[in-house]
Amino acid sequence: MTLKFSSYVTAAILGSAAMAAADCADPVKVGVLHSLSGTMAISETTLKDTMLMLIEKQNAAGGVLGCQIEAVVVDPASDWPLFAEKARELLTVHDVDVIFGNWTSVSRKSVLPVIEELNGLLFYPVQYEGEESSKNVFYTGAAPNQQAIPAVDYFLEELGVEKFALLGTDYVYPRTTNNILEQYLKDKGIAADDIFVNYTPFGHSDWATIVGDVVALGEDGKQVGVISTINGDANIGFYKELAAADISADDIPVVAFSVGEEELSGLDTSNLVGHLAAWNYFQSADTPANTEFIDAWKAFAGEERVTNDPMEAHYIGFNMWVNAATEAGTTDVDAVRAAMYGQEFPNLTGGTAVMLPNHHLAKPVLIGEITADGQFDIISQTKEVPGDAWTDFLPDSAKLVSDWKELGCGMFNTETETCVQLTSNY
Amino acid sequence: MRRIFYAIALCFGTVMAAQAQELQTILQTHADEIAKPSRKTVNVALEDLVASGLPTVPGFLEAWVEKSVWQRGDGQFFIGAVEDDQINLRDVDSGAESTADKSDFKQLKPNGGVRRVIGTALVQFQLSDDNLTRRTTAVASIARRPAADQLAPLLASVEGEPDPALKARKIQLANFLSARFADNPEDRITAINSLAKDTSVEARSVLNQILQNSSGVAPSEPEGNIARILDPMQAPDAYYAELVEAGFAPARTGPAVIRAALEANIVDGRVGNIPLAQLGTDAARERAYAALAKEGLAPPLVTTQTRDHALGEYVFYDLYDEPNAEITAAAEAALSSVEQRVAFAQAADLALDGLSLASIYFLAAIGLAITFGVMGVINMAHGEFIMMGAYTGYVVQTFIPDYTVSILVALPLAFAITFGAGVTMERLVIRHLYHRPLETLLATFGISIALQQLAKNIFGTQARPLTSPDWLDGAWVISDVIAISYIRIAIFVLALLFLALILFVLKRTRLGLEVRAVTQNPGMAASMGINPDRINMLTFGLGSGIAGIAGVAIGLYAKVTSEMGADYIVQSFMTVVVGGVGNVWGTLAGASMIGFLQKGIEWLNPSNTLAAQTYMILFIILFIQFRPKGIVALKGRAAAD
Amino acid sequence: MRKSFLSENPSVLWFIAALGLFTLMVTLLSEATGAGLISTSFVKTLGKTLCLCLIAIAMDVVWGYCGILSLGHFAFFGIGGYAIGMWLMYARTEGIVLESLAGQTIPPTPQEISDAIGNQIFGVVGSSEFPMIWAFADSLFLQLLMVVLVPGLLALVFGWLAFRSRVTGVYLSILTQAMTLALSLYLFQNDSGLRGNNGLSGLQNIPGFEGTPQSTIAIVFFLISAAALGAGYVFFAWIVSGKMGSVIKGIRDNEARVRFLGYHVESYKLFVFTITAVISGIAGALYYPQAGIINPGEIAPIASIYLAVWVAIGGRGRLYGAVIGAAFVSLLSSWFTGGGAPDINLGFYTIQWTDWWLVLLGVSFVAVTLLFPKGIGGLFDYLVRKQP
């Protein structure tokens, strides 16, 4: 398997994976735009492998529209301008029918102008800050109302948290999410004094002062909770400091939006049991579909590999695209887009994901507690929540809606009844 | 006789059975609340359970908290533990054990909020239990959700408490509770006064809870325990908004309101007799609005003047929730005394954090203090030696599971590996470049890039765990405000040790003497029979080896990634340069300055750590411009370039 | 003077001729104007490479000729990019906003327009206020002036402070690196007003040319970049020739002796440092509209070090060496990281160049420093001299 896999990747990277069936006049090409080198490689390589696995499975099942699917893998090397260049290459040189790719928001913003100019189709699988709806992008990850808001509701309702510390890495996702949450909390009657916001750089490691500040928040006797949008490596130092300060989840619960199974593998979690994370998917979800997916993944990529939320997003996105293309009878972008609206596909965690006319999915929100073995114990699962491109909690975006099916506009101002712009705001 | 015995046993059995039936019955009546509990609804079920007085209730509740209660497909509850696909079940009442297939059972997972409520319900069973852990749990539960009805049982349990530490804790907690909930105001005031020296978060929270107040607005001063009367002119717009919300005044006419009013009153392309095309400025819009208001088509404009007038008509106040003014006065006095102490403690804590950061910078830079400071060799791969040390620690831990042993093995091994790497690099690259310092910089940079990528290829880009042994877990807690984790103390001690070691080596050993001789004048040293090649090699190896040990320490407190070295390299060079090249004390001074400075700037702007780093670097750049030789500048001939 | 300048630098004519030929060839083969053999994305790559060559020459002058190893020139490059990016973003967004506001019954006030633009640009990063540094963003002329002025002024102030205190050699290198780090950390903050980590994006859409296809825009930028590179080459060749060139090279070889000869070394150094910073800014302003996005990661200290790597591999102290180095290494780099290089299967292990390229680069860099201090350009010289 490993040998086959590596030679397969080799072929794919060469961009000449000659997998297309000979009898197919116009081969179906799927572009995979994930960083295979650089800082994002660790997260994105997993998604590239996921795509290769999904395509292999689909080809074994007969491909799409009678054609075998050919994967075109390129490496944008965690270099944001290179994302735009590679996207152009995929669409003009390789003529791909659809692209699955990107992780960071900035890479998406880099790619947007290119795919809008060339009318491409992108499936973006990662939870993000919202405030965007492009005609050419389907967002299969969570919008803030599908991750952040339910998690805060859980804090307010179930844990009775009265005072919030919003800790984040200083970049667009935490900034926007925290802005939304701050407004949301104020609407819920939390005083401005009871919201503590802090931003740290990428890879921050000196957490003692900040953890001390969080503990000190409890001085007026209110229940304190931490909402963490801390990204990547910085989490390790943060959780180590939490553990050193002996802060149990019973005293100050921490809910994280960017910590998944992969991130926990860099940590000894025995001191963190009970702290929380919110996602649309956890590996520990106990459903037959998930068991099958995990087994297939381990067989494909290796026994020690874990699954995570963006992988499920690609799983849903790819299958919806296959179904939409089959329904439309073509891989033409506009036809597939029209067929995408209302597509349904079962989630790995149970229930059904539905593609909405604002290019977001309706998905359930899961809250899990960290367990000692580095997994999450799911303790709360909502019904499917429809993704909202423009948040209702910031005045400037509350008046905007996205509806590509009826209104044909991703940024429609409901007050003036006009379409602000057809391209997206990159 | 035997018959009687049987009869009694039978009787007893049926009684047992009847009782057993009862707990499951209670559970079944509340099946929904128990299967899907919520903080707000679970109380009903809990009250019934506790009221039943069944001896099995505490055990069940404890199992529930630990997520070991399972529900069978038919709704029956069991206490169970999973073993592969099987589940070992225990009946909730009889305790009868059985095994079943897991698939038919669903685990109950009460969330943190529910667990806390259950914990409170368990208090009465656990407070005087024989088991110390249970009693500690009970006390912790009280501390988390203090309530008036806990005061009496807590006080009652203090007397019989055998564990001195827990007893002290119970007394402290009872004091907190009586400050808030005692029936007699004098008792409360006594308790409050005793808190005036307590800087713990709990004590402050007790005082703050007593002082809870709500702000309001009224036409005249209200009845009650008024905390303070507020001056609305401090923030007129905010107070006016409060007035509007209370329904005492009309809303301000903002640009959006004006705009909406204008849009609603367009007549023949004109509003208030002003053509639409001219409404592109705020002044024109206000004029048009005034015209509309005159005709009565819109409410009159609320000007600054009307706002101020309205504010003057009303009283804005904060009202204590606590009606007794004596109690709030005592609490205010206690709190202000506490806050003074807290401020001192915070300053001390900040100094401790600064010291800790300084020792981390010092540790990262100390190897450089030798290679760069003493030898004058720019080694941009220094950060990668730190990284190599950290990865050595990680690899050792994968082979030796005992954390203490693995650290003891990892430290010398990291030294050996990076010493070897340093010597190799010196022999292969650096010795050819001693007279071309800029080229050394570039060549070592090439090595740095290569090593970093090599580490990525071998270990992946994901951070690797390097776990500290148990005795380094946790923190040294002086008070709730002043605390420092043991691992940071260990780093501090390590930094001191290295400082002593290097000073000793340089000043008191033959090697040190030779090193100083070679760096000051290699030719002369060689003619005195010293082999400069060997000395350079050893010195460079020593500096690199120390970087390796620093790597293990840094990895323990933060993270092990291929980029961790790059995070420290610029800072380390600046530490050495700011401190003054050629002097280990200078490096210490540089590290202290940077560490304390960064913490100071962070304190000024707590919400943005990135800004603190930026300003610190800017400060260093300026500092070097005005003091290019650093804090501890060498004087005399040694200082010559 | 002019005659002696060209006779002193025969490479100038050769270079201009080669650049001209190359430009012509690319234009004829591009999608927009010719055979379509070169894809638009490759034209953009080539255009960007030309800009990198331009900053590499600047680096060569400041390091190879004047001996100042600056690890901060990519910061100036980035500032140039940000300056032009601000206008590009502002003007494009203004167009969109005016179009959408035009549909309203009441004409918008200037405040409303500004709010709407601010919301569009900064809404992405959770803000809508217009920061101070955007004060001139509505004017192309002023922003173009900033492309030149901001890097120039920054270099002037920094250089003045540093050279005045006689900070030299590796100390200066570390100091310039610190400056770059401070700038990139500053830009990483959301509060910097330049959209933090997201940076400025969509720069390839030139306001006023919405209808023009990207293939045309790409070739136009390619031609402008080529022209800038040519002009920059001639300009720097002129700077490093003649008496001034001799003084500059003298400073590199022995600063103290030049000072004893009565020259004001600091002024020369400051001049070279500032003028190269300005050219770097211009190169950046041409580069980022082709790249489409600029963000703080571009300015990270590592970028400036790569710049030094290019120049060292190409060959210091010779302008064409810098051009060769920048073009060769950056194109090779994108070939390797783009998966262009075939993997080597060793049986027990497969070398994938996406993973191993940086190791190769690092090692070859050490090798060049140790074994061929004159770089590829030195090889060139050797061959030329061999000929009769």
How confident is the model over B474-519, as pLDDT tens digits?
A: 888 888 788 888 988 999 999 999 899 888 988 899 988 888 888 8
* Mean pLDDT, range B259-272, rounded to an integer: 81
Q: Which residues of A touch B483 (CB under 8 A)?
A: 212, 245
The listed range with the strongest mean pLDDT (B584-588, C111-115, C146-150) is C146-150
Q: Is residue A263 situated within a structural domain?
A: yes
| pLDDT recorded at residue C387 | 54
By residue count, chain C amounts to: 388
Distance from CA of A323 to the nearest CA of C (A): 31
pLDDT digits (tens, 9 = 90+) for A255-281: 999 888 887 876 778 888 889 999 999
* Mean pLDDT, range C48-60, rounded to an integer: 96
Instruction: Write the CB contacts of A4 (distance below 8 Å, at least 6 apart in sequence).
Output: none
pLDDT of residue B466 exceeding 60: yes
B362 closest CA partner among B553, B489, B495: B495
CATH number for B345-639 (one of 3.40.50, 1.25.40, 1.10.3470, 1.10.357): it is 1.10.3470
The size of the A-B interface in CB pairs under 8 A is: 143
Same domain, yes or no: A134 and A262:
no
| pLDDT recorded at residue B17 | 45
pLDDT digits (tens, 9 = 90+) for B173-214: 999 999 888 888 898 999 999 888 888 888 898 999 899 888
Give C78's pLDDT tier (boundaries 50, 70, 90). Answer: very high
Question: Do B473 and A244 count as a contact with CB atoms less than 8 A apart?
Answer: yes
* Mean pLDDT, range B385-407, rounded to an integer: 93
| pLDDT recorded at residue C12 | 87
Q: Is residue A410 situated within a structural domain?
A: no
Is residue C292 within 8 Å of A84, Cβ to Cβ?
yes
pLDDT of residue C343 exceeding 80: no
Q: How far is CA A58 from CA A55, A61, A290, in A?
A: 5, 5, 17
Q: How far is CA B58 from CA B119, B130, B136, B144, in A?
A: 10, 14, 15, 19
pLDDT of residue B220 exceeding 70: yes
Query: Could you give the 3-state DSSP secondary structure of residue A256?
Result: strand
pLDDT digits (tens, 9 = 90+) for B431-441: 888 888 888 88
C47 closest CA partner among C222, C288, C203: C222
Domain count, chain A: 2
pLDDT digits (tens, 9 = 90+) for B599-609: 888 888 777 77
Percentage of residues of chain B with pLDDT beyond 90: 19
Give C148's pLDDT tier (boundaries 50, 70, 90). Answer: very high
Of A370-374, A418-422, B58-62, B538-542, minimum mean pLDDT range = A418-422
Is residue B599 within 8 Å of B354, Cβ to Cβ?
yes
Question: How many other C-beta atoms are found inside a 10 Å radius of the C-beta of residue C4?
Answer: 10
Which of C44, C112, C115, C125 should be substituted to probe chain A, the one whose Cβ sees the most A Cβ atoms within 10 Å?
A: C125
| pLDDT recorded at residue A111 | 94
Give C374's pLDDT tier (boundaries 50, 70, 90). Answer: confident
Same domain, yes or no: A244 and A213:
yes
Give B18's pLDDT tier (boundaries 50, 70, 90). Answer: very low
Q: Which residue of A200, A218, A246 is in closest CB contact with B610?
A: A200
Give B591's pLDDT tier (boundaries 50, 70, 90). Answer: very high
**Of B12 and C153, the one with more pLDDT:** C153
ipTM over 0.90: no
Q: Which residue of C305, C355, C373 is in closest CB contact with B457?
A: C355
Domains of chain B, residue spans: 2-114, 127-210, 214-320, 345-639
pLDDT of residue A18 exceeding 90: no
Assigned token pair, B198: 């307590």
Q: CA C97, CA A390: separation in Å to the nearest integer? A: 18
A296 closest CA partner among A38, A42, A49: A49
| pLDDT recorded at residue B375 | 79
Kindly write down the DSSP assignment for every residue of B260-275, as one continuous string. HHHHHT-BTTEETTEE
Q: Which residue of A93, A170, A419 is in closest CB contact with C196?
A: A170
Q: CA B331, CA C288: separation in Å to the nearest integer? A: 62
pLDDT of residue B94 exceeding 60: yes
Same domain, yes or no: A155 and A103:
no
Question: Do A198 and B607 count as a contact with CB atoms less than 8 A apart?
Answer: yes
| pLDDT recorded at residue B412 | 94
Is residue A366 within 8 Å of A381, Cβ to Cβ?
yes
**CATH no. for residue A347?**
3.40.50.2300
pLDDT of residue B37 exceeding 60: yes
Assigned token pair, C242: 């003649």
Distance from CA of C124 to the nearest CA of A (A): 7
Give B639's pLDDT tier (boundaries 50, 70, 90). Answer: very low
> B99 at the A interface (CB within 8 A)?
no
pLDDT digits (tens, 9 = 90+) for B282-312: 888 888 888 888 888 888 877 788 888 888 8
The listed range with the strongest mean pLDDT (A99-108, B230-239, C167-176) is A99-108
Structural domain span for residue A24? 2-142+286-362
Q: Is residue A405 situated within a structural domain?
A: no
* Mean pLDDT, range A192-220, rounded to an integer: 87
pLDDT digits (tens, 9 = 90+) for A193-206: 899 998 888 878 88
Give B40's pLDDT tier (boundaries 50, 70, 90). Answer: confident
| pLDDT recorded at residue B291 | 85
Instruction: Write the CB contacts of A153 (distance below 8 Å, at least 6 apart in sequence).
Output: none
Q: Which residue of A212, A243, A262 is in closest CB contact with B349?
A: A212
pLDDT of residue A16 exceeding 70: no
End of a domain among A330, A362, A394? Answer: A362
Q: Which residue of A218, A220, A244 is in closest CB contact with B475?
A: A244
* Mean pLDDT, range C352-377, rounded to an integer: 83
Position of tokens 């079944």? B28
Q: Is residue A414 situated within a structural domain?
A: no
Distance from CA of A413 to the nearest CA of C (A): 10
Q: Which residues of B touch A153 (CB under 8 A)?
A: none
Same domain, yes or no: A153 and A56:
no
Assigned token pair, B313: 């008509």
Using CB atoms within 10 Å of the CB of residue B53, give its burial: 0 to 12 exposed, 13 to 18 middle, 19+ buried. Answer: exposed
Q: CA B483, CA B487: separation in Å to the nearest integer? A: 12
pLDDT of residue B548 exceeding 90: yes
pLDDT digits (tens, 9 = 90+) for C9-48: 778 888 999 999 999 999 888 887 777 788 888 899 999 9
Q: Is residue A416 situated within a structural domain?
A: no
| pLDDT recorded at residue A20 | 40
Q: Which residue of A has its CA nearest to C345?
A: A7
| pLDDT recorded at residue B16 | 45
Q: CA C288, CA C147: separation in Å to the nearest integer? A: 12
Mean pLDDT of chain B, nearest integer: 85
Same domain, yes or no: A71 and A134:
yes
**Amino acid at position C316, single letter:** R
| pLDDT recorded at residue C338 | 65
Distance from CA of C387 to the nearest CA of A (A): 42
Q: CA B612, CA B608: separation in Å to the nearest integer? A: 7
Query: Could you give the 3-state DSSP secondary structure of residue A368?
Result: strand
* Mean pLDDT, range B130-147, rounded to an integer: 87
| pLDDT recorded at residue A366 | 94
